[in-house]
C-alpha cells in the first residue's frame, strides 16, 4: 500500500511540475493569403495577412515563394518582403504579380526564408514557426 501511495505521489508531483511546460504557447508566425484580385492591368494582386506571435520582435522578414501555374509548373521564384514586425503585430501587405492573371496561378509555396533578422542577427524562427493558409482559390503552403 505504501508503495502505491509513493508511486501516486511521485506521478502527481511530476505531472504538476510538467504542466506549466504544456501550457506555454508555441511560437507562430502566420501568413495567410487573404485575397487575390485582378488589377486593371491584368496582373494578380495578392493580399497577405502576416501575424507575429513568435515571442520576439522581427527586425526584417522576407520569404522566397514559388508560383505554380494550373499545370503544376513553377513559373516564378520571387521574394516577398514583409519588413519588421513587433511581437503581437498583424500586418497586411499587397504584392502585384505583373503580367500574371490570378486564374493562371494554382498554388504558391513558401520555399525558404530569404531574411529573418532578430536583434540584428539572422535567426531560424521565421521558418521554424511558420504556418501558411489561404482564403482564396489559390493554394498557399509550405
Give me the mean pLDDT over the 13-22 stretch. 45
pTM over 0.85: no
Taking all residues of the chain, what is their mean pLDDT, rounded to a whole number?
A: 88
pLDDT at 121 over 90: yes
C-alpha cell at 100: 500574371
Which residues, in sequence order, are bridge partners of residue 93? 48
**Could you tell me which CATH class the domain 25-141 is placed in?**
mainly beta
3-state secondary structure labels for all residues of 20-56: HHHHCCCCEEEEEEEEEEECCCCCEEEEEEEEEECCC
pLDDT at 31 over 50: yes
What pLDDT sits at residue 25?
74
pLDDT at 67 over 90: yes
Amino acid at each position: 500500500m505504501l508503495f502505491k501511495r509513493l508511486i501516486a505521489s511521485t506521478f502527481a508531483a511530476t505531472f504538476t511540475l510538467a504542466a506549466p511546460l504544456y501550457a506555454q504557447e508555441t511560437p507562430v508566425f502566420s501568413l495567410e493569403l487573404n485575397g487575390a484580385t485582378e488589377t486593371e492591368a491584368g496582373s494578380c494582386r495578392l493580399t497577405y495577412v502576416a501575424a507575429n506571435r513568435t515571442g520576439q520582435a522581427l527586425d526584417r522578414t522576407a520569404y522566397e515563394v514559388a508560383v505554380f501555374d494550373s499545370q503544376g509548373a513553377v513559373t516564378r521564384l520571387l521574394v516577398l518582403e514583409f519588413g519588421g514586425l513587433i511581437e503581437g503585430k498583424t500586418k497586411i501587405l499587397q504584392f502585384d504579380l505583373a503580367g500574371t492573371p490570378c486564374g493562371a496561378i494554382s498554388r504558391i509555396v513558401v520555399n525558404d526564408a530569404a531574411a529573418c533578422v532578430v536583434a540584428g542577427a539572422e535567426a531560424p524562427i521565421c521558418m521554424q514557426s511558420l504556418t501558411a493558409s489561404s482564403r482564396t482559390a489559390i493554394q498557399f503552403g509550405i
